[in-house]
């Protein structure tokens, strides 16, 4: 299954996306925590108050959930930015992934199964929100970007093995583009790529 979001700040290792286990999944599977972690992974270190201002939450709420993310190993203090009065946080890893969803679907603890449901639905809702934001703001972008985006869907008949193979090839293609541009390349931007592949009944 693909890793969670988001972008690739310089302070994160591109190969560093450890698999979730039942304990870490329970710690992460909260909509606000997932949003905060995604922001730290995409935009780099921030304070609880800075994050709160961006998303319209109280700094008390963001502070609490950042501490929870720290307890489960997702974020740490940023020693290069923190002061006695201001605590800065940074993401530990580039992303997270599942080695196998089946172990969570079949887990005997209902809290683990519930955490999986929360995580996946929050992840999907984030994708929908990002697409909606683009559709609402694409007129603000330069003309070149207005003709360089895509929103498509396809239906093809596959076996589970071929579906997995397709996913691996898509991931490899995306990775081949990752380091082709220096950070400050003119006219460049972070591009979101969502990949969903799932079977559907034809009856």
Domain segments of the chain as ranges: 22-175
Please give the model's pTM, rounded to 2 decimal places.
0.82
pLDDT tens, residue order, the chain (203 aa): 333 333 333 333 334 788 999 999 999 999 999 999 999 999 999 999 999 999 999 999 999 999 999 999 999 998 888 676 789 999 999 889 888 899 999 999 999 999 999 999 999 999 999 999 999 999 999 999 999 999 999 999 999 999 999 999 999 999 999 889 988 899 999 999 999 999 999 87
Q: Note whether 95 and 17 are within 8 A (CB).
A: yes
The CATH architecture that domain 22-175 belongs to is Orthogonal Bundle (1.10)
CB-facing half-sphere around the CA of 172: CA atoms within 13 A: 6
Tokens of 53: 């201002």
182 CA to centre of own chain: 22
Look at the block and give the residue holding tokens 């082709």.
Answer: 180
Q: Which residues contact 59 (CB under 8 A, 6 or more apart)?
A: 48, 49, 52
What is d(CA 143, CA 25) in angstroms, rounded to the nearest whole number? 41
42 class by beta-carbon count within 10 Å (0-12 exposed, 13-18 middle, 19+ buried): middle
Q: Which residue has the tokens 């780099």?
A: 44
Q: Which of 96, 36, 27 is nearest to 63 (CA)?
A: 36
Query: Both tokens of residue 128?
Result: 């929908």
């Amino acid at each position: 299954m693909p890793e969670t979001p988001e972008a690739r700040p310089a302070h994160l290792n591109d190969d560093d996306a450890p698999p979730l286990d039942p304990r870490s999944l329970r710690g992460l599977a909260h909509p606000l925590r997932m949003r905060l972690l995604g922001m730290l992974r995409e935009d780099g270190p921030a304070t609880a108050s800075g994050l709160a201002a961006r998303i319209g939450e109280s700094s008390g709420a963001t502070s609490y959930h950042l501490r929870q993310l720290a307890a489960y190993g997702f974020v740490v203090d940023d020693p290069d930015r923190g002061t006695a009065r201001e605590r800065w946080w940074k993401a530990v890893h580039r992303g997270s992934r599942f080695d196998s969803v089946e172990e969570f679907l079949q887990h005997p603890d209902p809290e683990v199964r519930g955490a999986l449901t929360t995580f996946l639905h929050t992840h999907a809702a984030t994708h929908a929100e990002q697409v909606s934001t683009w559709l609402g703001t694409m007129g603000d972008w330069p003309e070149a970007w207005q003709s360089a985006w895509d929103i498509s869907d396809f239906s093809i008949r596959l076996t589970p093995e071929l579906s997995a193979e397709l996913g691996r090839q898509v991931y490899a293609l995306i990775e081949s583009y990752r380091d082709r541009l220096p950070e400050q390349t003119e006219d460049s931007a972070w591009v979101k790529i969502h990949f969903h592949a799932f079977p559907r009944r034809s009856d």
